[in-house]
Structure 1
Amino acid sequence: MRILVFFDLPTETANDRRNYRKFRKDLLKNGFFMMQESVYCRMVLNKTSEKTVVDNIFRMRPPQGLVQVLTVTEKQFANMRYITGEKQCDVIDTDERVVIL
C-alpha cells in the first residue's frame, strides 16, 4: 500500500515558514519521498503499519494549513497515469523486504 500526503501550508510569517520546514523534514525522516510539490509518498506493508504512520502524521501536523492523507493499494498506484512529464526512477520502488543494490 502507499500513503500519499497532500499539504497546503501558509508561509506568510517566519513562524509559518518554520512550521512548513519542520513538517516537511518530519515527513522525510519518516520515510516519505517527494512526488511533486507538496505531495509526498511512502510505501507501507499492511494496515497496522499504515495506521501507525497516519498517527505519526497526525502528531506532527502543523497548527495551521491543510494536510490530507490518502491510502491506495499498489495496484491503484501502479495505474497512475502521467499526463505531462515522466516517472522518476531514483527511488527504490518495491515491496520486497530484502533489496540487493
Structure 2
Amino acid sequence: MRMLLFFDLPMITNEEKRNYIKFRKHLIKNGFFMLQESVYCKLVLNPTVANSVMKNLEENKPPQGLIQMLIITEKQYEKMIILLGESSSEVLNTDSRMVIL
C-alpha cells in the first residue's frame, strides 16, 4: 500500500515557515519521500500500519493549512503515468525486503 500525502501550508510569517519546516522534517524522518513539491509518499505494509502513521501525523500536524491523505494499492501506484520529466531513482522505492544472515 502507498500513502500519498498532499499538503498546502501557509508560509507568510516566520512562525508559519517554522511550522512548515518542522512538518516537512517530520515527514522525511518518518519514511516519506517527496514525489513533487508538497506531495509525499510512504510505503506501508498493511492498513494497521497506515492507521498508525495517520495517527502520528495527526499528533504532529501544524496548526494551519490543508493536509490530505490518499491510500492506494501498489497496483494503482504502478499505473502512475509520468507525462513530463522523469522519476527519481535516488530513493529506494520498493517493498522487497533484504535479509542478511
Aligned position for 2:74: 74
Aligned position for 1:3: 3
Structure 1 residue 88, shift from structure 2 partner? 1.2
| Distance of aligned partners of 1:99 and 1:22 in 2 relative to their CA distance in 1, 3 Å threshold | farther
- Which has the larger displacement, 29-38 or 88-97? 88-97
Q: What are the ranges of 5 or more consecutive residues in structure 1 without an aligned counterpart? A: none
Structure-1-length-normalised TM-score:
0.94
Aligned position for 2:29: 29
Structure 1 residue 30, shift from structure 2 partner? 0.5
Q: What are the ranges of 5 or more consecutive residues in structure 2 without an aligned counterpart? A: none
| Distance of aligned partners of 1:99 and 1:64 in 2 relative to their CA distance in 1, 3 Å threshold | farther
Aligned position for 2:18: 18
Q: CA RMSD in A?
A: 1.2
Structure-2-length-normalised TM-score:
0.94
The list of structure 1 runs, each at least 4 consecutive aligned residues, that deviate by more than 3 angstroms after superposition, is none
Query: How many residue pairs were aligned?
Result: 100
Residues in 2 aligned to 1:32 and 1:42: alpha-carbon distance in whole angstroms = 5
